[in-house]
Structure 1
Amino acid sequence: MIYGLVLLSCTGHPTEKINGVSFVASREEVAQSHVDPVLDIHANYAAIMPFGFMQDPHTPNLVFDSDRQWFGETRKGAKQYIEMLHKNGVKVMLKPQIWISRGEFTGNMAMQTEADWETLEDSYARFILHYAALAEETHADIYCVGTELATFVKNRPAFWTDLVDRVREVYKGKLTYAANWDEYTNTPFWGELDYIGVNAYFPLCERQNPTKETLRTGWQPWKTKMKELAEQLDRPILFTEFGYRSMDYTGKKPWLVDRNEERVNLQAQADATQVLFDEFWDQEWFAGGFVWKWFIHHDRAGGLADNRFTPQNKPAESVIRQRYAPIKKSSL
């Protein structure tokens, strides 16, 4: 069994942090050898992410659980992943997501007619309820009802409130929604969920080679706003995604997923990860989070020449391992 970071709240009760990884879907089944590196960094949670696909941001039909998808992107694959992780004592957040062709941003998804909006609502509800049933069947520990869908949420708020009610009829566990960093303050249904989910790609500084102090300073206004919202709504903040690319300017636009050729900067990624842990993990109003992202083939993921998000086989992996390591309980 893997144990996460245990803190004592002001009431004296222990609070386990969610020390998670975003476990990327693959073409194949997950084996014990794929889970062992997750255990090695002491992660106590993993996000499992089956996908639905859309042709473009203005076409409402959503295709999911298709035989044309990778194994890990389907219901069968997600179930196998969850069962293997649970077998190893790792808890799971099931987090179905949408991929739009050419990687277009899901937050801009908007329909052109009322009929298309209604078609999208029907299609999306089937997608989410399909995986809510899987979350209940597999006893997933958290279920995420959407990821970075700002325009959809803004234009159809009543749909989302109704969707959460319908999910709760199917799934009896904890619920969240993964709002983008610039979206979460405008998400109207946090009171219906258990966690305020934030994909934490906040801009922190514009330096090519940021220092820890610069990064720490950059966090302060964002941190203050999240603390205020958590206390106002009496819901903890959960970083449904967090992470940095191992490249120069990593704190400038942390959300960038382009294939730019910025110089590899392993120390910047490690420092940014350390500062995020230092700023948030000891806060009572903060639940924890999921590192973006973790590939099942650890031996060939990341590495010292890679400037992408994964911390695997980079100094940032050691930062995560140290933070996620269990605290030894002393006898009183």
Structure 2
Amino acid sequence: MNTSGMSTTLDDPPRVTGPDRPDPGRRRRARPGTWRHALRRDWQLYSLAVLPLLFFLIFRYAPMIGNVIAFRRFEPGGSIFGESWVGLRYVKLFLNDPMFWNVFTNTLVLGGLTLLFCFPLPIALALLLNEVRSRRIKRFLQSVSYLPHFLSMVIVAALVMQMLAIDGPVNQMVKALGGEATPFMQKPEWFRTIFVSSEVWQTVGWGTILYLAALTTIDEQLYDAARIDGANRWRQIWHVTLPGIRPTAITLLILNIGTFMATGFEKVLLLYNPLTYPTADVISTYLYRMGVESSNLSYAAAIGLFEALIGIVLIVSANLISRRTVGTGLW
């Protein structure tokens, strides 16, 4: 039907006028809650992560491509990806090598002892420092316990060797007590004790920082409620303090388990010698000798890949067990 010279058809779309009409020139805005909205809102904060991400991309993830030489024959001066495909040849070689299994056992023992002592001791030290009421004494104890962390690994190794030398202070004390001097650094049975002791001295104080920070987040009202209920100081620590730092402790435990196989490469390399290889040689130092000193890079790459796979299994398993038992995990 036509009226007043105007004609319309059923196929013509309705025209929207007024404020509800969309503006085609207006930029489409990201909806709240999406990653684009968060990126646009906090782009300054995200820009701070660019350099760390580039560092990990270039120096951590890009070199992973080189793991292909674990399955290819590599010759110095040839292709960086190897000359020919050999499959699992190098994997079978180290799995059938008795020396590798000795090194593997040493890694497990040193890693287990380090985890056994270096993980709970920072918690205990943090709890003790938290009970110190004098600020001056507390700061002094914190400074004394933190200082060894800032020493170079070379300096720490030199101090250990000087202290335990034949004419060093330890043997001088042994002689003064009527004993005989012992070449500690040449005795395989002493290496694990020396390594773990030096690791405790160097790392325990620094490890308390995160736990002390976690202790400051515990609500004081929880302690007041515990005191009203008649809980003594030990009960307060057990029922309030330890549950308060449990997420931090679980996170650090999972991270320590993830680096379980990479036990103290620098310190072991500086402290050990051929006489202490039976108890001191670990996977990382064995890789160094096989890959760098002997130029058997394919063999070393196969062992390194095996070590990395074990580390992944350990950290995933630890996180899964933590999730199912205490409800807290790394992810």
TM-score of the alignment, normalized to the shorter chain, above 0.5? no
TM-score, structure 2 as length reference? 0.21
Q: Which has the larger radius of gyration?
A: 2
Greater share of helix: 2
Greater share of strand: 1
